[in-house]
Structure 1
């Protein structure tokens, strides 16, 4: 193994996960990370394009819920507004109860079936079930002063956190907190009685940026290789997704001499773990009429986990590209074919008819419904295998040159 590449890999990972304390969109740390990515690409002789978009950081000062003489442990919902309210506690466990109840000027506990899965933000454009939209609409019309949600686990939508925030939406302005399903059952005994909720939370405006490295000649034949640079607040974001961004930087070095007849873009997207995916929306707007110029997207997310192989999953590749991909996979014993998965930025390109390859860790793909790592403090450098980052970058270097 190239010792210099290995040391650079470790340095990049250390920077994104330790030197930068918070890569959540809108935060100073997030802007520090994007500047570092931009400067590193420039040092490696890549032209860069910066896409700026509006965002905001979120400051969480904690919350206190009191019912009778008891305090209940609650967490502030991400991006929620703060509050200081005393009111009668009401409860709803189904959409029907929410639609038919009188909740005006009350504090509302959502529990049971209605709180089984994280609600999509009200303005989320890629996936927004009618059931979620109806719940949000009913809440906004209900007249409630604040919302408490009691949740269990839902790894597919919310990562490994327990409890998970039912509401994670900066466009939703009713203050909310969340608690465990167990505490929710205890709190339910206080229905009809006065409770008090104080939540210290505020939104802080600050821009975000996508950074795109560009090499090559032909703008009508683009290969776009993507990884999101942001992370959930409170998580080091090692697998999700410092490893992906590090792969982009190692690949940038391996392709430093590239002068081929395809245009290569190395895109650090900024918003995959942000409620409104603002960076991805900014990229779509900038490329609204140019997706037909993209011949392939390669998206990296959740790669280089220490257990198991690397997974290369292909989507809608024509036969010649499938053959080239198969040749590359055969050359690398740590890389295998993976099953199809949708929870990543490659889905954007697929919606626009662009074929894609999604790169992750096979263990994560196989355990996506039950894993308890992503979006938590467990997603740290101890679970990363740096050698796999180099292997992936080397494989992509060969694949791109074959194309």
Structure 2
């Protein structure tokens, strides 16, 4: 019989190597959710599949040139493609965007206005007014296409360099992005005619959440979540195959649960996707039911090979927090971590539910500077499968005591 450690490693292999693309709307994503559903059902859990439409995206590359000079550019995720030839207009500040005539131009956005990833136009959970205004001005201005010169923005865009300033399948102006260094070269050609070819295509697809349930239906719910999707082009080991593995290990540990709580294990689908469709579907279904949730436990970024696992608390009743602190004190590899908001626990916090987030202390301490997530570096080599077993065992102890 396989040990939990062996299962932890096998599940990681399945999610990160056997399945090569878990991005929402892709075939790999559907294979991953089917794997999760089949396995958790075999452990005696009742499951619900929440299906939704989701756009997949095919990146065929892009090219940019001005006269004899060529520039390296990358297709913005989920952008429309284009074959564009127009004069180059360059903007670095919001006030310049307000005043400029950009209609029919190819627009280079750089500098201050490109310092952080612009939230998708229909993203509800965090969408600063400045971001909304930028999108509105671009849509009203109707440039032929947009080129974005960017640096790093780990807190919003992950560890990728350069980062895509625009990642939004609901935004229909074609866009590409480039490094700040390439942007400096391109600035020298302001006012000249440039040619941009972007081979990008949106593909209709499907995705789903998987919700598994067990326990006393009349009791208050403990909702344990982890997102199963990953960015296209990354194995998504830390972000967030490791969280899904914790859900599966915990489901096995709780397979005979007969306590007073209604346990809900949710594989969310969409945290790393512009439209967060799985989260929106769950939110709509539970809009009038958040009051019956005792606690959300969200796992994201767990199992990093260096340092400890970290449990952080958001509005837990004093007695509950004391219970968790006592349990994790028995584990050398788990500590109380600092609060962080870039995860699905924020959905529950915003709806008045106590929450606990489980991650890696190294990751949360470096969330604004790390260079791993959303890149090819997010692979199995950076994980310790044993840490996922330890997290699952601590959560099992807590759930059985509460």
TM-score normalized by structure 1? Answer: 0.99
Listed as ranges, the matches of 1:146-165 within 5 Å are: 146-165=145-164
Partners of 1:149 and 1:179 within 8 A in 2: yes
Listed as ranges, the matches of 1:62-77 within 5 Å are: 62-77=61-76
**1:28 and 2:27 aligned:** yes
CA shift for structure 1 position 219 = 4.0
Cα deviation 1:340-379 (Å, max 9, x = unaligned): 1101000000011100110000001111111000000000
Query: Aligned partners of 2:135 and 2:213: how far apart in 1?
Result: 41
Aligned twin of 1:271: 270
User: Does the residue aligned with 1:218 lie in a helix, a strand or coil?
Assistant: coil
Aligned twin of 2:60: 61
Aligned twin of 1:215: 214
Query: Structure 1 residues 213 and 170 mapped into 2: Cα distance closer, same or farther (>3 Å)?
Result: same
Aligned twin of 2:320: 321
Query: Runs of 4+ in structure 1 displaced over 6 angstroms?
Result: none
Aligned twin of 2:179: 180
User: Does the residue aligned with 2:188 lie in a helix, a strand or coil?
Assistant: helix
Paired positions, count: 402
CA shift for structure 1 position 218 = 2.8
Query: Aligned partners of 2:170 and 2:159: how far apart in 1?
Result: 24
Query: Aligned partners of 2:69 and 2:227: how far apart in 1?
Result: 42
Partners of 1:219 and 1:293 within 8 A in 2: no
Cα deviation 1:233-262 (Å, max 9, x = unaligned): 000000000000000001111001101110
Partners of 1:220 and 1:294 within 8 A in 2: no
Query: Aligned partners of 1:231 and 1:292: how far apart in 2?
Result: 30
Aligned twin of 1:203: 202
Cα deviation 1:150-171 (Å, max 9, x = unaligned): 0001111110000000000000
Aligned twin of 1:389: 388
Partners of 1:80 and 1:170 within 8 A in 2: yes
The alignment yields a C-alpha RMSD, in angstroms, of 0.9
Partners of 2:234 and 2:378 within 8 A in 1: yes
Query: Aligned partners of 2:13 and 2:77: how far apart in 1?
Result: 26
User: Does the residue aligned with 2:249 lie in a helix, a strand or coil?
Assistant: helix
Partners of 2:142 and 2:173 within 8 A in 1: no
Instruction: List alignment gaps of at least 5 residues for structure 1.
Output: none
Partners of 2:219 and 2:260 within 8 A in 1: no
Query: Aligned partners of 2:281 and 2:370: how far apart in 1?
Result: 30
Cα deviation 1:39-85 (Å, max 9, x = unaligned): 00111010001111111100000000011101100000000000001
Cα deviation 1:300-346 (Å, max 9, x = unaligned): 00000000000000111111101210111111110000011101000
Listed as ranges, the matches of 1:92-107 within 5 Å are: 92-107=91-106
Aligned twin of 1:348: 347
Partners of 2:72 and 2:178 within 8 A in 1: yes
Cα deviation 1:199-250 (Å, max 9, x = unaligned): 0001111111000110001344000000000000000000000000000001
Query: Aligned partners of 1:372 and 1:64: how far apart in 2?
Result: 26
Instruction: List alignment gaps of at least 5 residues for structure 2.
Output: none
User: Does the residue aligned with 1:183 lie in a helix, a strand or coil?
Assistant: helix
User: Does the residue aligned with 1:54 lie in a helix, a strand or coil?
Assistant: strand
CA shift for structure 1 position 3 = 5.7
User: Does the residue aligned with 1:249 lie in a helix, a strand or coil?
Assistant: helix
Aligned twin of 1:243: 242
